Structure 1
């Protein structure tokens, strides 16, 4: 892979990751005063602000960070395809790839946050550090949702396993393109 393509793709993925993280923090109603939350909001506020004027909130969910992530992935794909002289520019196909990329990134972030949350619950439960607190705050609403359907069995919380399975099923249905 050409180093220029790698650099462009990496920068695009990092910016999209931060935008998706903002969505997850807002959706989970994570502690706004956590330094990580504040950094994510400050970093994304300028590009998200105009999108918030166009994209309405639905309940407590603000989808403007996801729209930003979609735009970032789309722009990254357009740049990569434009730099590659042997591929034609099909904006609709690139938009679909960007949408699939956002969904896949969102699911991957939830997957890894769930793994991190499980490890934290074993190693450092109740840690005052901002990073474990954010992971727990992102995953707890999902854990609570699964616990309503599937209660703990003998003190064993099976909600992370159910979340892993659901994520794997959804990701297996997404087209693999990147």
Structure 2
């Protein structure tokens, strides 16, 4: 019938923390404004967890990979906790657990981009050029995607079809990821 409340709490809190970690990674990937209040909040929330790993993990160019590493560890922890609560053995198939966690992180990143593109499209209709920190951050995250898509489908007059290409690409990748874990 219903879902166990403990499982719901574990998944919700874990996925929320993973979202914040992935946002930190995507903000640095897009080179978003570090002084944006939302960016500052994300950095402050995640820094205590990331500080030990930042000393250990090497940077990949300008990219700090510690948010991805912690997100993967949290995702693995969520899966392990759920398996143990269901009475399963976590050590039995650790390789598939890691594959599920990596695919889950990729799917979460694609979902973030999907909703950010939707937000960017709506903001471009409702409040273009807004000075609020949230629309600016959404624009900075999605700008590299739009530029890449506009190389394939340039704007036609005043009509930009690049969001449609981005949505289709995200859906195709997510369907392939779903086939990978089945």
Q: Which moved more, 1:138-147 or 1:164-173?
A: 138-147
Q: Which moved more, 1:151-160 or 1:49-58?
A: 49-58
Q: Could you give the per-residue CA deviations for residues 92-141 of structure 1, whole angstroms, max 9, x where no partner exists?
A: 22111111110000000000000000000000011111111111110011
Per-residue deviation, 1:72: 0.7
5+ residue gaps, structure 2: none
Equivalent residue for 1:99?
Answer: 102
Runs of 4+ with >3 A deviation:
none
Task: Provide the rounded CA distance (Å) in 2 between the counterparts of 1:50 and 1:96.
Answer: 25
Q: Could you give the per-residue CA deviations for residues 55-114 of structure 1, whole angstroms, max 9, x where no partner exists?
A: 3222333222111111111011111111221x2223222111111110000000000000
Task: Provide the rounded CA distance (Å) in 1 between the counterparts of 2:48 and 2:75.
Answer: 18
Give the TM-score taking structure 2 as reference length.
0.91
Give the TM-score taking structure 1 as reference length.
0.93
Structural mapping, 1:57-96, within 5 Å: 57-85=59-87, 87-89=88-90, 90-96=93-99
CA RMSD, 1 decimal: 1.4
Task: Provide the rounded CA distance (Å) in 1 between the counterparts of 2:60 and 2:147.
Answer: 21
Per-residue deviation, 1:37: 0.2
Q: Which moved more, 1:15-24 or 1:50-59?
A: 50-59
Residues 59 and 146 of structure 1: CA distance in aligned 2, closer, same or farther (over 3 Å):
farther
> What SS is found at the alignment partner of 2:178?
coil
Q: Which moved more, 1:51-60 or 1:132-141?
A: 51-60
5+ residue gaps, structure 1: none
Task: Provide the rounded CA distance (Å) in 2 between the counterparts of 1:120 and 1:55.
Answer: 37
Task: Provide the rounded CA distance (Å) in 2 between the counterparts of 1:16 and 1:149.
Answer: 32
> What SS is found at the alignment partner of 1:166?
helix
Q: How many residues align?
A: 176
Task: Provide the rounded CA distance (Å) in 1 between the counterparts of 2:62 and 2:141.
Answer: 14
